[in-house]
Each structure stands twice: as structure tokens, then as C-alpha cells.
Amino acid sequence: MQAAKSLRLAQATNTRPAQALQPTSPGEISAILSNPRRYPAPIRPIGFGSSTTRCLSAPGGTIVDLLKMNRVLRLDRESVTVQPGITIRELAELLAAEGLELFGGFDLANRSVGGAVCGAGLDAAIGSGPTQFAAHVTSLKIVAPDGSRYNVKRDNAPMLGLLRLSYGLLGIVYELTLRVRPIQNFTVQSARVGFKDFINLAPRLARATAATKLYLMPFKDRIFVELRQTACGTKSGKQIAWRFKNWACYSALPSALRSLAKVVPLRSMRYPISDTLSQATQSLLTKGFLRSGSNSLEQTGRFRHPGAGASFAYCTWAFPAATFGRVAAAYQAMCLQHYSKTGFRCDMPAVVFRLNQDRSALLAPNFETPMFTISSLTADQHGWGDFVLDLADFAAKNDGTPFFNQTPGMTTKLAIDRYGRRLAAFRKTRRKLDPNDRLLNQFFASYMI
């Protein structure tokens, strides 16, 4: 087993573990978990490391980096069995060569499949199907906290529901089977509205069968709307256009904004320029540039490294879909107020996904009701810390639910309140499976003990 040393690990875990290891087999993971003397707790499994909370931190403990376990083990027309370290992009590329694709419309394809199954995600799903990536897992193989191994199959729905979005607290996943399907094309429709008009549009979007993604620009009073509908017989779209979209949103725009900050340090002069740049990027992407596509097209291609060391900061909250029009307007007001108070504002558009209700995982943020998520993003990070606190305050007042892997600034009390009885049930199983707290770090201890 190799010792893992990389900038990715240092940035993602943000603490000094006693050691970081890269196992290549389930036997090696068992050897780590069953030997507390040699491999001290907390033991934290890590995929790509793009989580933005301290869920991956293991001070004085052991990081288990799974990226070397990245093989495809079996593939047929309906399912694929993989090791957890393969990235969504690598898997999507392999599937595309067979005319197949993953379920779900999410755009950050650099994530590991294991991380996407064990952590909460965002996904603009068409129709009323589940919206967690993990919902499409039909069986899992796990090394338990004591080093023994167990399997969970599709007929054990309660246990599958616990293991999806379990954040590596019930064991380390070393093999998993996901549903796949033949590539399906969708059409993309776009529109733009002001925040006031959006209050009337939001209830319709909450019920729409189209997958819904929005880009909020509070300072331009603009919301860009992107709707996707399944369309048999439509052309699949152009890969170059989808690659351009990924490059523009996750690479070119943040880089341009960072360079701008160096050239124009005065914020009051810089922000209008960054708004114009962001709006121009959105306008280009939504003005008929992307008229059709598929999950396969969106998830293949090259991506930059997101995560703790990413060139932009990121924080997600989820809000009940039924009242989202009002919440979006309140978000605009909060951003304007924060700016007038502190002089800081996010210089990238906030990204919104509509998540259907999803009961496939006990800890799904959208378990009880459909939600809209707001992910605030910024390339300018001076002042981000205070913004995250104001955002948490705003979320608490507006029925916001945090994600354990994507919501820096969430308070323990609020998370316990929002996840309520589901968290209590999860906690009970965790204590049974991990009585010695091998996999528990300080971050999770406040929610799980």
C-alpha cells in the first residue's frame, strides 16, 4: 500500500493527518481499519476531495485516499460495477463508447463515484425521479469500521438508504453497482427574468417536469433560467459546445475574475466589470448556444480541479420548492445588504438546481420535500468568511437545509434541527457499526454523538 502525498489531499483535508494511504484492494482497506495502533482514528475516506466542509479532516489520524481503486469491474446494458475511485468523467467516457450514460444531470464530473454516492449532491433531473446520484446505486460492498466486510444488495432497501450519503461513517465503500441507460437526448430552453417576476414563475418551475437550473445575478437583477426536456429524435448536441460551457464557467470566468482583481483592486470599480463579464458568459451560454445535449455529453470532457484549493469558493443551501420565489427575492436583498455593510459580494452568479423529493437516502437534504438549492460562488475570497456567516443566518430564517459536505458555516443546532429524526436514526446505526468511533472525526462528532 502506498503512502499518498499530494496537494489535493493537503488542501481537501486542511489538517495534518498522521498518515495518508492509497490502498489498491479491499484487503488493504481492511488492514487499515482493523489496526488502531498502526492506523489511528479518525480514519477518513476521500474520493476527489471536493467537499467544502471539514468532513474530510483527520487531525492526527489516517486518510484513506481511494483514487487508485478506479477500475470498471463489470458492464452490461443496464448496470455497471466499479471501484469507488473512478471519476464520473472517466466512467461517463467509458459508457459513452458503448452508447450508454449515467442517470442524472450534474455538471461537476471530476468527482469520484464513491464521493458522489457517499456525499449529498445536486442534480437537475428530468421528470419526477430521484435527484441524488446515490439513488442509482443498486448494491454496495463495504469494509466495516472493524475491518470485516459486508455487502448490501437492492433487496435490502433500508440499509441501502442508510449507506447512500453516509459520508464514510458506516464503513468504506470498495465496490458499487450503478444503473445505466442508453444515451438519451434532451432539449435545452432558456429564458431570463428579473427577481420580482420570478416570484410568479417559481411555483410553475417547482412543479415543472423539465429539469430546472438557474443562475442568479442579484446585482444585475437577473435570473437566467435553463430548462431541459427529454426529446427523442433530437440531435445529441455538440461536444465542443458542452466543453466550452465547462471551460467558460469553471475555468475561464474564475481566472478572468482573479486577474481582474489584480488589475482593478478597488472593488467599487471592479464589481460592475465582473458583473458584465458574468452576464456576458451566461448570455452567451443561454442564447441558443446549447440547444440540445445529453448527460453523456455534459459529463465527458476535461474539468478543472474543484475543492478546497479551487480557484473559487463555494457554499450550498437547500430551500423548500414551495416558497422559493420569495426566498430568491430575500437572497437578492441579503446580498445587497451584505454588500452595503461590508463592501464584499460574490463575483460569480449563484447556481440553483431544483431537486425532486428523494427518499432513496435517509440523509438526503431533499428527503421530505422538493427543494431548490442555492450555491453561492466567488473567485474573490477576501470577505467570503463573513458572507458565509450571513448566508447561514439568512438560511436559518428561510427554512434552509445544509449539506454535510457542501455547506461551510452551518451550525450544529440547525443541522440537527433540520435532519431531526432521520439523523437520530442514522446516529443509532452508526454507534452500532462503529462503537470505537474509528471513522468519526471532530466535525461529525458534533452531529453524531
- C-alpha dist (Å) from residue 221 to 196, 254, 332, 368: 9, 21, 8, 31
Bridge partners (DSSP) listed for residue 189: 227
Task: Choose the stretch contacting ligand FAD; rule: CB under 6 A; options: 33-41, 119-127, 185-193, 268-276.
Answer: 119-127
Does the protein bind ligand FAD through residue 361 (CB under 6 A)? Answer: no
Query: Nine-digit cell at 67?
Result: 483514487
At 27 the three-state DSSP class reads helix
Which residue from 84, 130, 301, 409 is in contact with ligand FAD, where contact means CB under 6 A? 84
Does the protein bind ligand FAD through residue 111 (CB under 6 A)? Answer: yes
CA dihedral 142, 148, 154, 155 (to 10 degrees): -160
Residue 234 or residue 429: which is nearer to ligand FAD going by CB? 429
Neighbours of 138 (CB within 10 A): 17
Which residue from 70, 366, 405, 407 is in contact with ligand FAD, where contact means CB under 6 A? 405
Residue 122 or residue 137: which is nearer to ligand FAD going by CB? 122
Cα–Cα distance measured from residue 250 to residue 111, given in angstroms and rounded to the nearest whole number: 14
Residue 145 or residue 325: which is nearer to ligand FAD going by CB? 145
Task: Choose the stretch contacting ligand FAD; rule: CB under 6 A; options: 49-57, 73-81, 259-267, 382-390.
Answer: 49-57
Q: Print burial letters for 39-71: b (CB count within 10 Å at least 16), e (below 16).
A: bbbbbbbbbbbbbbbbbbbbeebbbbbbbbbbe
Does the protein bind ligand FAD through residue 45 (CB under 6 A)? Answer: yes
Report the DSSP pairing between strands 350-355 and 371-378: antiparallel
Does the protein bind ligand FAD through residue 44 (CB under 6 A)? Answer: yes
Query: Nine-digit cell at 289?
Result: 448556444
- C-alpha dist (Å) from residue 206 to 76, 210, 352, 369: 35, 10, 12, 11
Does the protein bind ligand FAD through residue 144 (CB under 6 A)? Answer: no
**Mask for 291-330, x = binds ligand FAD (CB under 6 A):** ---------------xx--x---x----------------
Does the protein bind ligand FAD through residue 49 (CB under 6 A)? Answer: yes
Task: Choose the stretch contacting ligand FAD; rule: CB under 6 A; options: 106-114, 251-259, 378-386, 428-436.
Answer: 106-114
Amino acid letter for position 82: V
Residue 190 or residue 375: which is nearer to ligand FAD going by CB? 375
Asked if residue 424 lies in contact with residue 448, where contact means CB atoms within 8 angstroms, the answer is: no
Bridge partners (DSSP) listed for residue 350: 216
User: Smallest distance, Å, CB 408 to ligand FAD?
Assistant: 10
**Mask for 165-204, x = binds ligand FAD (CB under 6 A):** --xx---xx-------------------------------
Does the protein bind ligand FAD through residue 145 (CB under 6 A)? Answer: no
Contact residues toward ligand FAD (CB under 6 A) are 44-52, 55-56, 66, 84, 106-108, 111-112, 114-116, 118-119, 121-122, 167-168, 172-173, 306-307, 310, 314, 405-406
